[in-house]
Amino acid sequence: MAGDDNEVAGRRAALRALLLRPLLTAEADPEALVLVRRHQTELRAWLGRETGWRLHVDAETARLFKTAPTLDDGTHPARGKSKEPFGRRRYVVLCLALAALERADAQTTLGRLAEEVLNAAAEPDLAFPFTLDSRAERADLVAVVRILLGWGVLRRVAGDEESYLSAAGDVLYDVRRVVLAALLTGVRGPSTVTAGTFEERLAALAEELVPDTDELRNQALRRRLTRRLLDDPVVYYADLDEAEHAYLVSQRLAITRRIEEMTGLIPEIRAEGVAMVDPDDELTDVRMPEQRTDGHVTLLVAEYLAERGETARAELAAFVRKAAETHKSFWRKGVTEAGAELELLDTALEKLSALRLVEVAPGGVRPLPAIARYAVDEPTIRERATS
């Protein structure tokens, strides 16, 4: 029995590792990779059946080829070393750097990579305004390189990116092709896509064939819903189409039970939707509640919205400004300076949006149903029993 329990625990730990980091490498994740390799047969079968995701495992890497449930969610951007979210320019530089590395030798330098990116950006078909003349543009390239180092695509051999930023030196890297080859995910190859606009090309990359039998259509529904329950903080019924809604309502106990058995996530089923909650608080890139100033501000804003409902942004800024005065002895320096409340509010709303707790519009902020868990009731004081 203990052996069976160990197998279940190992298989669960392996899948959790893949959900947290869909690309594992022997260098960065040796223990997790060993677990995945040990349980790859069961993992591949479960993932194929329940999600349709493909799992590739070799001696150096384990790659879970996930597909995004939706194509319009910008609440979980890539982030650099300073946690600053990637913007459009950094994403373009990342794509150009990957294309350059595909053609690179076994080793390359940051200077050589920069030259290749500049040449690609200047191609007539792209004509992307990127020159590396400013420190900000060099910082964008360095942020991209550090992402690639974190993924294991590059391995630093000599030098330092900071010296490149100050134009004082260069950096030498190994290019790890086995990891580079595992990055691209999607249903079809980009070279086969002929659609016109960016949105159409993106949709074509992720497009899946429409099943032509009831059994296959139900399988596709189950896979789509399981993906969302594994990826999204909460799945609201209002966000599903009619077929998805009907299937989840009728099959939610079976679907959530299979996820719970395989991952340890616990289903929280409410009238508005379903969330798979991690009791270990590991499978998330955004935590709440969180310590320090930003975490406290986010919790206070969530409580405020849970009680008040839809609120104008100006009103929320005034609330944060008042909270900063109240808590300034505990929060970081500068929170009471003019305009500081806007930065604090932006950070809080970014976290709440990523957790599907609010929707931010130009005119205000609308709380979503799951934010109700952060509402604070008045305390109930019971009289002490007397003998």
* Residue 378 pLDDT: 60
Beta-carbon contacts of 1 under 8 Å, excluding residues fewer than 6 positions away, are none
* Residue 1 pLDDT: 44
Residue carrying the six token digits 């197998």: 7
The ranges of the chain with pLDDT < 70 are 1-3, 376-387
* Residue 80 pLDDT: 79
* Residue 284 pLDDT: 82
Per-residue burial over 13-45, b = 16 or more CB atoms within 10 Å of its CB, e = otherwise? bbbbbbbebbbbbbeebeebbebbbebeebbbe
* Rounded distance between C-alpha atoms, residue 185 and residue 162, angstroms: 31
Tokens of 106: 């076994």
* Rounded distance between C-alpha atoms, residue 327 and residue 371, angstroms: 23
* Residue 377 pLDDT: 61
DSSP string, 56-86: EE-SSEEEEE---S-S---SS--B-TT-PBP
Q: Are strands 311-312 and 235-236 parallel, antiparallel or unpaired?
A: unpaired
Domains of the chain: 2-65 (no CATH), 88-180 (1.10.10), 214-277 (1.10.10), 292-374 (1.10.10.10)
**244, HSE (Cβ side, Cα atoms, 13 Å):** 18
For the sheet containing 364-367, what is the strand order? 311-312, 364-367, 358-360
* Rounded distance between C-alpha atoms, residue 354 and residue 351, angstroms: 5
* Residue 385 pLDDT: 53
Span 76-129, pLDDT tens digits: 888 877 778 899 999 999 999 999 999 999 999 999 999 999 999 999 888 899
